Structure 1
Amino acid sequence: MENVVLIVHLLLALTLIGVVLLQRSEGGGLGIGGGGGTASGRPPTQGIHKITWALGAAFIVTSMTLTIIAAQNTEGASVVDRLRDVPRSQATEEPAPLDGELLLPPSPEEADAPLAPLAD
């Protein structure tokens, strides 16, 4: 179900981008470009504007639907709640070394050895 809503959401987003780019610029938005509008404050309602509003509304609905689906799929606990449930013995326990010999201090024979490799 989530995948279907996600695909519809992506198709709506791409269609909405295309429809907005097809609209005629009416100017005044950013103070750049645009053709002359009507003398009244409100431009006439065109079909493409209605399509844009419908696609925008559908995009918002699918966004909220995806949010609700994602909230239902969670385990019901936040990350902080999951950290609180970890016993203290596990939280403070240090991981075991992979190779014990690598973590041992150098032997007395190796104490005089150079720490950095020589450029031979």
Structure 2
Amino acid sequence: MENVVLIIHLLLALALIGIVLMQRSEGGGLGIGGGGGGAATGRSASTALGKLTWVLAIAFICTSIALTIMAAQKSAGSSVVDRLRDAPAAQEGDTAPPASDLLPPSEGDDTPLVPRAD
């Protein structure tokens, strides 16, 4: 379910970028684009692209909240600090592995390198 919401979220983000880039520039930001009369009119009429931008933005925010809730439920009851405290290597009395375990095998050693779960 989380993957489905994430894919929808990414598609919404791409669609929102495309819709915003297709709109005509009406602002006076940086002195480019638009045309005269922007300050003379009180409020510009809503266009279909403007309304679609709002719909996509609201859907994007909803999927963001949904993903946040899913991630919070997945990690409920534990934090990174709790996991570090509960790790077996962090308990008292544990020592680091011997230095010979960290070295590569010698030239004559033909035993397979199989990871251990100890």
- For normalisation by structure 2, the TM-score amounts to 0.72
Q: SS state of the match for residue 30, structure 2?
A: coil
Does the C-alpha gap of structure 1 residues 86 and 35 become closer, same or farther in structure 2, counting only changes over 3 Å? closer
Q: CA deviation at 1:95?
A: 1.1
> Which residue of the partner structure matches residue 80 of structure 1?
81
Q: Distance in 2 between matches of 1:97 and 1:47?
A: 69
Q: CA deviation at 1:61?
A: 0.2
Residue 85 of structure 1 deviates from its aligned partner by 3.9
Structure exhibiting the larger radius of gyration computed from Cα positions: 1
Percent identity between matched residues is: 59
Partner secondary structure for residue 98 of structure 2: coil
Shift of 1:43: 1.4
User: Counterparts in 2 of 1:1-120, with a 5 A limit?
Assistant: 1-28=1-28, 30-36=29-35, 37-38=37-38, 39-85=40-86, 90-91=91-92, 93-99=94-100
Displacement of 1:59 in angstroms is 0.2
CA contact (8 A) 2:84 2:90 kept: no
Letter in 2 for 1:7: I
Measured in 2, the distance between the counterparts of 1:74 and 1:23 equals: 40
Distance 1:99 1:87, change over 3 A: closer
Q: Which sections of structure 2, spanning at least 5 residues, go unmatched?
A: 104-118
Root-mean-square deviation over aligned CA pairs: 2.4
Work out the number of aligned pairs and report it: 100
Q: Could you tell me which runs of 5 or more consecutive residues in structure 1 were left unpaired when the two chains were aligned.
A: 103-120
